[in-house]
């Protein structure tokens, strides 16, 4: 049974009934099917653990190794290299590691040191032989990794073509080992599937998949990938998380390292009632403001001591962000209202939950190199298809000087993303999620009962409608019935009625403009609750404008269809800088007074007035809404045409429909 705590928003990995704010698979696709093959059954374990690995790989391909428990779930894993040409182990504290072999030849010996469920240690080694690089075109798969049961995940095929003019004509996928899963290969370059539960299997298992590429010259090549299923305890009655990912403290010697995971990201957590739960009391894991001390902001050292990560680079990039991209100290102040920061390769969407007092961040907001991006799942946000039946599409982008602030990074180009881009992507997300945290525990209201868990400290505030978001809803309520219904469709997945399917972009824009929200995500409202997203979107957009001097574009266009570009989507209504609208400004002032009292509300009066987009002109042309110039005059032609334009449109759709 799931917990009965009232709901706000739901990421797929969290029970429907836990109070949270989610901001920001599986199934067979038409592009591919699971082959009718006989799969190798899981090996029977002859010892406490075993390693499954590639025996031999060609240099340039990715190799993998997985350590499997022969019984109960592993408590912890640490991989190290014993000998051979030096390789990087980016997932060294997960059961499965992938190694890039480009430029390497020789035998790599890896060692896995684990702690078993009973607390006893065990270790095992594996040798992987790296042979000479292929002489012709080849394919490799990224990346070998581990997931918990019930997790949606992905693998990407990377063809490398040797001959000039050679192209890929086909990629086929087969599962060659492990319990059978349903494969989605709608996109031939990507395999997506949901890992199955292991209730009928006595030990961890390794799934193995094979991709075969055929090129225009008739060349074929195959590569295998290992995805291990990492067992975890059964979900209890009243569970908080249906499943979790394996994470570890970024700072192992920090004061709270020993309780971070069990208090904030453990499948064993449950809440049935105020007297029947196992949530950690505040005295075990207090808010960061308590550790910092009265009247002080949390230090970066204290913050990093509350960080859980799936991969260490996520912690390093997060620390870089705090040290170099927070000159005003906003995030250190706001982080005082949380217990922990969980950053994971399979966290999607990002969210905050008052059940634990932690924020959970999608690793897609923190990668900086192609190798870092390789570990981030490509499984889409579960909300990304909500509203597909509607006759319009909502688009959004961040702009400055009539130009995009955020660049588009198609995954197949394997680009590096500079920290200046991460600043914007992660900054807007942090402002949003921390607005939720400070809605429950604002800077002036963080004195909690240490004997109670975070959630039971919040219940009186919820029951008495004492949150800042409640004050916002009372003083400046959202009133559009049409937008409230559309919010249910776009963000909560409710089916659209026929009359709603007929709404045009112009009609929806009129509904939206007549109300006082700055973004339609404000209408993601559960039942009779106040809109928590209304407060978070107001704070996010204001802070991005105030601190970075950027503006948000919002627009409604004709419904997006495959193949559409920024030139083919025609604006029915659009606005730049809606945060500066007269009806919106007093709402921002209230929010600032409640959750960011260090900012002078008079700053709101300095926001520029909104600029209307040119109706009937394209989304591309409206990058300069004052004149609606042609796209080629406001952006490089290579950026706004063809594949790049299609990718940009998808990014702009994500900015509105599943950004938080």
Contact by Cβ (8 Å): 106, 84? yes
pLDDT computed for residue 632 by the predictor:
40
Among 559, 555, 557, smallest CA distance to 610 is for: 555
| pLDDT tier for residue 201 given thresholds of 50, 70 and 90 | confident
Which residue is it, tokens 């042309």?
621
Six-digit token pair at 449? Answer: 């009962």
The answer to whether the CB of 310 falls within 8 A of the CB of 246 is: yes
CA-to-CA distance for 315 and 570, rounded, in angstroms?
Answer: 41
CB-based contact 79:66 (threshold 8 Å): no
pLDDT at 40 (0 to 100): 41
Specify the higher pLDDT residue, 68 or 17: 68
> Residue 527: pLDDT band by 50, 70, 90 thresholds?
confident
Q: Is the pLDDT of residue 422 over 90?
A: yes
Print burial letters for 24-61: b (CB count within 10 Å at least 16), e (below 16).
bbbeeeeebebeeeebeebeeeeebbbbbbbeebbbbb
Q: What are 291's two structure tokens?
A: 């550790």
Q: Is the pLDDT of residue 439 over 50?
A: yes
> What angle do the packed helices 468-475 and 585-595 form, to 10 degrees?
160
Q: How far, in whole angstroms, is CA 337 from its chain's centroid?
A: 21
Whether the per-residue pLDDT at 375 is higher than 80: the answer is yes
**pLDDT-derived band of residue 72, with 50, 70 and 90 as boundaries?**
confident
Calculate ∠ Cα 14-10-349, nearest 5°: 85
- pLDDT at 32 (0 to 100): 37
Distance of CA 296 to the CA centre of its chain: 30
Residue 139 φ/ψ region, left for φ over 0, alpha for ψ in the -120 to 50 degree band, beta for the rest:
beta
34 has a pLDDT exceeding 50: no
Using the predicted structure, report yes or no on whether residue 27 has a pLDDT greater than 60: no
So what's the pLDDT on residue 199? 74
CA distances to 434, 564, 565, 648 from 645, rounded to whole Å, are 32, 9, 5, 5
Domains parsed from the chain with CATH numbers: 49-229 (2.60.40.10), 234-373 (no CATH), 392-442+467-657 (no CATH)
For the cut 80, the answer to whether the pLDDT of residue 38 exceeds it is: no
The predicted-structure confidence for 503-526, as pLDDT tens digits, reads as follows 999 999 999 999 999 999 999 998
Share of the chain above pLDDT 90, in %: 82
Strand ranges, E, within 38-185? 49-53, 56-58, 62-69, 76-83, 96-100, 106-115, 121-131, 138-142, 145-147, 152-160, 168-177
Taking 60 as the threshold, does the pLDDT of residue 14 lie above it? no
Least confident of 5-9, 250-254, 425-429, 647-651: 5-9
Q: What is the overall mean pLDDT for the chain?
A: 90
b/e for 504-536, b at 16 or more Cβ within 10 A?
ebebbbbbbbebbbbbbbbbbbbeebbbbbbbb
pLDDT at 30 > cutoff 90 = no
Residue 149's region, left for phi above 0, alpha for psi from -120 to 50, else beta, is: beta
Q: Is the pLDDT of residue 608 over 70?
A: yes
pLDDT band at 565 (very low <50, low <70, confident <90, very high): very high
Predicted confidence at residue 16, as pLDDT, reads: 30
Helical spans, DSSP H, in 298-418: 300-304, 312-324, 330-334, 370-373
The whole-model pTM stands at: 0.92
Between strands 96-100 and 220-229, the pairing is: unpaired
Backbone angles phi, psi at 130, to 5 degrees: -100, 115
């Amino acid at each position: 049974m799931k917990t009965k705590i009232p709901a706000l928003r739901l990421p797929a990995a969290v029970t429907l009934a836990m109070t949270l704010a989610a901001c920001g698979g599986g199934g067979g696709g038409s592009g591919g099917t699971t082959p009718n093959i006989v799969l190798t059954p899981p090996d029977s374990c002859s010892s406490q653990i075993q390693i499954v690995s590639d025996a031999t790989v060609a240099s340039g391909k990715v190799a993998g190794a997985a350590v499997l428990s022969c019984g109960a779930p592993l408590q912890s894993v640490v991989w190290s290299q014993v000998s051979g040409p030096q390789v990087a182990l980016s997932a060294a504290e997960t059961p499965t590691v992938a190694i890039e072999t480009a430029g390497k030849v020789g035998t790599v010996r890896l060692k896995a040191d684990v702690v078993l469920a009973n607390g006893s240690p065990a270790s095992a080694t594996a040798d992987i032989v790296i042979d000479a690089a292929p002489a012709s075109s080849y394919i490799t798969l990224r990346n070998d990794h581990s997931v918990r049961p019930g997790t949606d995940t992905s693998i990407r095929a990377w063809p490398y073509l040797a001959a000039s003019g050679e192209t890929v004509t086909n990629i086929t996928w087969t599962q060659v080992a492990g319990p059978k899963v349903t494969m989605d290969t709608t996109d031939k370059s990507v395999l997506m599937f949901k890992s199955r539960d292991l209730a009928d299997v006595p030990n961890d298992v390794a799934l193995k998949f094979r991709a075969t590429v055929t090129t225009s010259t008739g060349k074929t090549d195959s590569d295998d990938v290992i995805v291990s299923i990492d067992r975890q305890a059964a979900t209890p009655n009243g569970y908080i998380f249906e499943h979790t990912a394996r994470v570890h403290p970024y700072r192992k010697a920090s004061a709270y390292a020993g309780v971070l995971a069990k208090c904030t990201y453990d499948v064993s957590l449950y809440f049935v009632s105020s007297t029947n739960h196992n949530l950690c009391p505040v005295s075990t894991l207090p808010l960061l403001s308590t550790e910092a001390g009265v009247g002080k902001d949390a230090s970066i050292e204290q913050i990093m001591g509350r960080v859980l990560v799936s991969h260490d680079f996520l912690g390093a990039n997060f620390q870089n962000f705090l040290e170099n991209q927070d000159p005003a100290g906003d995030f250190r102040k706001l982080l005082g209202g949380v217990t922990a920061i969980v950053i994971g390769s399979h966290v999607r969407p990002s969210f905050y939950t008052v059940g634990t007092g932690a924020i959970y961040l999608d690793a897609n907001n923190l990668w900086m190199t192609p190798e870092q991006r390789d570990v981030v799942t490509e499984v889409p946000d579960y909300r990304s298809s909500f509203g597909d039946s509607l006759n319009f599409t909502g688009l959004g982008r961040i702009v400055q000087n009539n130009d995009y602030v955020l660049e588009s990074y198609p995954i197949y180009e394997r680009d590096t993303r500079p920290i200046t881009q991460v600043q914007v992507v992660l900054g807007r997300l942090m402002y949003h999620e921390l607005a939720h945290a400070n809605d429950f525990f604002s800077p002036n209201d963080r004195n909690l009962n240490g004997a109670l868990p975070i959630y039971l400290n919040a219940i009186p505030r919820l029951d008495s409608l004492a949150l800042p978001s409640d004050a916002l809803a009372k003083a400046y309520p959202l009133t559009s019935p049409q937008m409230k219904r559309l919010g249910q469709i776009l963000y909560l997945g409710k089916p659209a009625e026929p009359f709603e399917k007929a709404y045009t972009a112009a009609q929806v824009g009129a509904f939206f403009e007549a109300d006082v929200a700055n973004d339609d995500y404000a209408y993601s409202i559960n039942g009779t609750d106040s809109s928590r997203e209304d407060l978070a979107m107001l704070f996010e957009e204001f802070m991005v404008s105030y601190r970075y001097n950027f503006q948000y574009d919002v627009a409604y266009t004709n419904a997006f269809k495959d193949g559409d570009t920024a030139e083919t989507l025609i604006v029915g209504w659009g606005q730049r800088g809606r945060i500066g609208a007269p009806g919106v400004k007093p709402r921002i002032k209230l929010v600032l007074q409640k959750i960011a009292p260090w900012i002078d509300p008079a700053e709101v009066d300095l926001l520029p007035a909104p600029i209307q987009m040119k109706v009937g002109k394209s989304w591309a042309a409206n990058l300069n809404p004052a004149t609606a110039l042609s796209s080629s005059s406001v952006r490089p032609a290579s950026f706004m045409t063809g594949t790049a334009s299609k990718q940009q449109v998808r990014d702009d759709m994500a900015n509105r429909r599943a950004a938080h």
